[in-house]
Chain A
Amino acid sequence: MRTYELMFVVDPRVSDEDVVTMTQDYKNMITTSGAQITSEENWGRRKLAYPIDKLNEGKYVLLYVSSETGKSSLPEVEHRMRQNDKILRYLTVRTDEDLKRAARRQPSGPRTGPSSAGPDTGDGGDAEPEEEV
């Protein structure tokens, strides 16, 4: 199963309702291809770290997509976003592999092997805080 995060930034002059209909459009494209929207976040208006097209703010929308078959219409969605000039930025990230890797590391305890040492004492490094007098 593959999971993705799709984040995009919309022109702040677009009204909130239009942003919702726009995201609904994209969501429909994704769901008709057999993938699911697992959750959705609307960050609303947020200040951009740098101006894009002379705009200082943007509306952020974030979609979490999961696809059982590995099939998703994300390339088409990206294509549509590229052509939509109300969308300032978009980014699709595949997250399943990284999350899995993180999850695998988590239960195995401290990565430095022997977990006999107390909690968080220097991670098995040989050097202790050096004091030079």
Chain B
Amino acid sequence: MARARKVFFRRRKVCKFCADKIDYIDYKDVKLLQQFIPERSKILPRRISGTCANHQRPLQQAIKRARHLALIPFTTD
């Protein structure tokens, strides 16, 4: 019975900032922020990225700052 079911692994999502011990999320670190803005340049939601609430908040702030300075796009057209 159990054999018949499809085998799949659900990877446990880990907050990148907790794992890498990044405590200050810098708006100038474009490479880092880019990982959290997919194709449409929207901010990747927590439920997908696995970022914890304590880090999603500063991350969001950093992305918005970077957008203002045109380091990161608001949208892709």
A residues in contact (CB < 8 Å) with B: 7, 9, 48-50, 52, 58, 60, 62, 88-89, 91, 93, 98-99, 101-103, 105-106, 111, 120, 122-123, 125, 127-133
A98–B12 touching, CB < 8 Å: no
Tell yes or no: B36 within 8 A of A by CB: no
B68–A106 touching, CB < 8 Å: no
Tell yes or no: B32 within 8 A of A by CB: no
User: Which of A52, A62, A129 makes the CB contact (< 8 A) with B70?
Assistant: A52
Count contacts between A and B, CB distance < 8 Å: 66
Docked Cα-Cα span, A120 to B12, in Å, equals: 14
A129 partner residues in chain B, CB cutoff 8 A: 9-12
Docked Cα-Cα span, A49 to B37, in Å, equals: 13
A93 partner residues in chain B, CB cutoff 8 A: 27, 65
A133 partner residues in chain B, CB cutoff 8 A: 2-3, 5, 7
Q: A49-B67, A89-B70, A122-B12 are known contacts. Are A7 and B28 too (CB-CB below 8 A)?
A: yes
B12–A99 touching, CB < 8 Å: no
B residues in contact (CB < 8 Å) with A: 2-3, 5, 7-12, 14, 18-19, 21, 23-24, 27-28, 58, 65, 67-75
Docked Cα-Cα span, A9 to B28, in Å, equals: 13
A9–B69 touching, CB < 8 Å: yes
Q: A62-B28, A91-B68, A98-B58 are known contacts. Are A130 and B23 too (CB-CB below 8 A)?
A: no
CB distance from B22 to the nearest CB of A (A): 9
B69–A91 touching, CB < 8 Å: yes
B24–A127 touching, CB < 8 Å: no
